[in-house]
Amino acid sequence: MKIGFIGLGIMGSRMAANLQKHGYSLVLFNRTRAKAEPLLGPCGTFADSPAELAQQVDVLFTMLADPGAVEQAALGDNGFLERLRPDALWVDCSSVNPSFSKKMASEAARRDVHFVDAPVTGSTVPAAEAQLVFWVGAELADLERIRPLLFCMGNKIVHAGGHGTGTSVKMVVNLLIGNAMAAFAEGMALGEGLGISRKVLFDSLLGTPAVAPFIALKREKIERGNYEAEFPLRWMQKDMHLASVSAYESGVAMPVTNAAKELYRLAMMEGHAVQDFSAIYVYLASGGDFATNRGPVKNTPQAFQASPHSSGKGSRPDEPPRGRSAAEHQDSSNNYELVRKLLLV
């Protein structure tokens, strides 16, 4: 079995390395060849394009930043989907929205290629230690073909159902993690503002039902102020944004997630994008964009129309205006309604 791997960032490089540790030879592609260099050798060769890679493999893994990157690699110039062999299997481990996974499954089926959405839970350390959790949306027969490969990179596989269900579960997982991190950061900021030391707050809160267990893994980052990324803040914001798009598509209200998503976006604009997502604490503890708004806040639409982070619109239509995507409409609603009601009152 010849395996291809496209996307050798902080997660993909570790996943590919674990496949090699189990004796699998890989054909590799990354936009920046330098990131592939540590994997090249007896078990790794580099292809000059996704199309060139696809002609050589039976199973292809992709681990890319967002739906746009996946679609470009699959269907763009020198894309891989037209060049994969009939009956080949494409496993997309990227964090994307469910409707996009279903679209890619349809595109693959048109070309007699099998598709599996298999996003992961776990950051760089679990990726390096082959401790990832795979959330799989696929036909069972396709999952069985790749199960041994997934266990080279992870220690748990959950078959959620058909196409798009793996990305659906991953989306729920990440929005819960993102919300939990933001809520904890806000609680810490309040506690410190009331004069409680950071150490006392950590010692008091960790291990209680009030705090998600993963927060304990972020303690050292917050205490030392070292936010080297295990999961970049911009990726968390992206995943929460995709969740809001999916909520719009499904008719589900998500006011808490939409508010948290906006906080992560504002933190990105303040320079925290490539730091670990726990750096949301730095943004909130410093007062964020609201530092000049200490005390009572004027709860008026006009206060937000002039904001550099708002849509610039004074109204909030029930449906997206003509020419505006669902995501853009959701962002407009977020900045005006959710920030106004949930963050500043």
**Residue 14 to residues 19, 73, 92, 345: CA-CA distances in angstroms?**
9, 20, 16, 44
Sequence-distant (6+) residues with CB within 8 A of 38 are: 13, 17
CB-facing half-sphere around the CA of 190: CA atoms within 13 A: 6
Q: 276 phi and psi, to 5 degrees? A: -60, 150
Cα–Cα distance between 2 and 88 in angstroms, integer?
Answer: 10
Q: Coil, strand, or helix at residue 137?
A: strand
Strands of 73-143, DSSP E: 89-92, 114-117, 120-121, 132-137
On the 0-12 / 13-18 / 19+ scale of CB atoms within 10 A, 64 is buried
**DSSP conformation letters of 145-167:** HHHHHHHHHEEEEEEEESTTHHH
Question: Can 156 be counted among the known catalytic residues?
Answer: no
The token duo for 53 is 């890679």
Catalytic residue among 170, 218, 238, 261: 170
Cα–Cα distance between 132 and 63 in angstroms, integer?
Answer: 13
H-helix or E-strand spanning residue 24: none
Residue among 104, 6, 101 at smallest CA distance from 48? 6
Cα–Cα distance between 291 and 24 in angstroms, integer?
Answer: 53
Task: Please list the active-site residues.
Answer: 170
